[in-house]
Structure 1
Amino acid sequence: MTDTAALLAAYDTQLRAAETSHLPPGARAEVDGPVVRVVGQRPRGFVTGPPDLGVDGPALDALIARQRDFFAARGEAVEWKTRGHDRPADLPRRLVAAGFVAEQRETVLVGEAERLAEAPLSPPEGVTVREAVSASDMERIAETVSEVWAEDRSWLAAELTDRVVRNGDGRTVVVVAEAAGRVVSSARLEFEPGTDFAGLWGGSTLAAWRGRGIYRALVTYRARLAVARKTRYLQVDATEDSRPILERMGFVAVTTTTPYVWTPPR
């Protein structure tokens, strides 16, 4: 039987700290009381904290306002990442009162890498799965991601090239699914040094290629890479579209996560 409480405890003690410990080039972490804010990363600033912030009432309001005002002075948006089991329980309400807006709630899933790696790697006919290793790969990925999300994400090419090609330390692995020479799907595997975890991030598949097993193939491929590096768990912040697929593959829900975003007025 899966010990969900133990998985959540491991997530809280290991991954939450890792979120602000291993940052992309140009980003830095700053401590402000119980929270840590990340400055200088795309596409917006980031704030996170422990499961219990240890402050409430007016002190919590002041803490929230400081983060908002810090990024306002920079003219930048900021995301405050909350989890469903966080304390104090009224943190979301106070974030909204300070001008933050809730984005889509996702489910935090954790799975055992060895079990996930045992699934057959079976992309649809004509589709190949491989690691992306060159700057040209990253440019093609950014083009596909921009099409998937109907917005300009060309900046992603430079960021992935920095993290994988120029300054690659092995922490970030990018995988692609290709058909007839075109990138039809891509995703990342982020190893978290000093933890039992690696994260699955950035899954983007062209609409015409969804529902054909590519997503599952990319998960299995990344699970095998994780096992090769002796990683015990994989973690995903899953949308409602991907959650059922991942749970059928063996992932377990441990909590939820909701980003609250403040955006500078135009």
Structure 2
Amino acid sequence: MATSQLTASSMTVSVRNLASFEGIRPSSVKFSSFGTLKPGSLSQRSFKRLFVKAVAVVAPKYTSIKPLGDRVLVKIKEAEQKTEGGILLPTMAQSKPQGGEVVAVGEGKTIGKTILESSVKTGAQVIYSKYAGTEVEFNGSNHLILKEDDIVGVLETDDIKDVKPLNDRVFIKVAEAEEKTAGGLLLTEASREKPSIGTAIAVGSGTLDEEGNRKQLSVAAGNIVLYSKYAGNDLKGNDGTNYIALRASDVMAVLS
């Protein structure tokens, strides 16, 4: 019988007991779905509608991984197991990390006949896009192989507010949600609309043209901006302040 963990949003199933996934070597396959899954409600047809994310396991005989091109190998930071108050969190309640340490980099990005070195170095602490890369289990730890373009920024301190965005990324301090309606009615926490306005705290070095030259972004630090509502990575500072990191193309306007 396949071992499984069922929740409203995910399921983990032993791959050895799924004939339809024969040939996949990873030790487990994760399925993302919607709604509540009931025992006996899944058929072989049902699996075709589920999103599959497999974790590749590197055998112990291999002692190193060398990323190619503009790819970067990141050792994933472990998920927080306790709240700030010391309460132990169950596995499903632990937030998925979006950061880690760079342990290896490729030779760089090729533009025409020019190879540009990676802008991140080994040992750097980085923040990356939530759904980027391929997860790899190596030397008993979880790693991620992703393209440099999927790295949001370099974290130079232990507080997210000090992140240094890369390339075309913009780091924004999110404006606080309105607590009252225009008529003066007090809004509850749940009914406050998520703001899509904030102040640009830092911006990346710009995009690359076809010749490898940097093109400065049209957004500058200090600008108050309006951005796409569902874009970017939501982040929280040590003091609880909300930030978002997104691409400059997701900034729709500068307000003044």
Q: TM-score, normalised by structure 2?
A: 0.26
Q: Which of the pair is proportionally richer in helix? A: 1
Q: Which of the pair is proportionally richer in strand? A: 2
Q: TM-score, normalised by structure 1?
A: 0.26
